[in-house]
A and B are shown apart, each in its own frame.
Chain A
Amino acid sequence: RKEVEQDPGPFNVPEGATVAFNCTYSNSASQSFFWYRQDCRKEPKLLMSVYSSGNEDGRFTAQLNRASQYISLLIRDSKLSDSATYLCAVRGGSQGNLIFGKGTKLSVKP
């Protein structure tokens, strides 16, 4: 099992749709989890941290399921501007480094 795995997509959804991404991780001792957004030919930007109790930021909701070792990102009321690649990151290296998934590509259509 790879350390951090994501469905590469692409997810093609209409504006206004709700879309969810999952990310599985292999290290049960991982303590920190994040979602990043990366636009084409740009750097990854931190979208949100993922807390044990789940957290919400506007249209975005992140959840952690430790028992099944996955994190999720839910986007409600999708906008055209949400089109990007979404990377999950799990802190799990020997020095506590972040390990990134390969990303899930989202395309929101009019």
Chain B
Amino acid sequence: NAGVTQTPKFRILKIGQSMTLQCTQDMNHNYMYWYRQDPGMGLKLIYYSVGAGITDKGEVPNGYNVSRSTTEDFPLRLELAAPSQTSVYFCASSLDTVYGYTFGSGTRLTVV
């Protein structure tokens, strides 16, 4: 049972480039989330999904897009990367709104 898997683990992007952060879970969880974590700033919610085909904005959605075509996958798309998007990105999932989240191991992104 792999849990939540994120790829890549590390990435360096140039300003203006685009990329997709992959997230997949094998626990049949309905709820999935994308967070970013900056030093000293805590976890900020970017986007979340309550099921396949349903997504919604979190606290800091600007510059990002998501899709949820299957229960398992919840990719995060960065368009026109900016230095302010340098961060650690965590994907998480939960069975429903009662349980805590299971996190992936994160993607460390640097935009130069």
**Chain A residues in the interface with B (C-beta under 8 A):** 8, 32, 34, 36, 42-46, 49, 87, 89, 91, 93, 95-98, 100-103
Proximity bits, B86-112, A CB within 8 Å = 1, else 0 = 000010000001101111111000000
- Minimum CB distance partner of A101 in chain B: B42
Minimum distance in angstroms from A34 CB to a CB of chain B: 5
Are A43 and B104 touching (Cβ within 8 A)? yes
Complex interface: chain A residues within 8 A of B105 (CB): 42-43
Is B52's beta carbon under 8 Å from chain A? no
Complex interface: chain B residues within 8 A of A91 (CB): 97
Complex interface: chain A residues within 8 A of B58 (CB): 97
Are A103 and B97 touching (Cβ within 8 A)? no
Minimum distance in angstroms from A93 CB to a CB of chain B: 7
User: Most chain-A CB neighbours within 10 Å: which of B40, B97, B98, B100?
Assistant: B100
| Alpha-carbon gap, A87 to B48, bound state (A) | 20
User: Most chain-A CB neighbours within 10 Å: which of B33, B50, B101, B106?
Assistant: B101
Proximity bits, B21-52, A CB within 8 Å = 1, else 0 = 00000000000010000001111010010100
Minimum distance in angstroms from B92 CB to a CB of chain A: 8
User: Most chain-A CB neighbours within 10 Å: which of B41, B43, B97, B105?
Assistant: B43
Complex interface: chain A residues within 8 A of B42 (CB): 87, 100-103
Complex interface: chain B residues within 8 A of A36 (CB): 100
| Alpha-carbon gap, A87 to B104, bound state (A) | 16
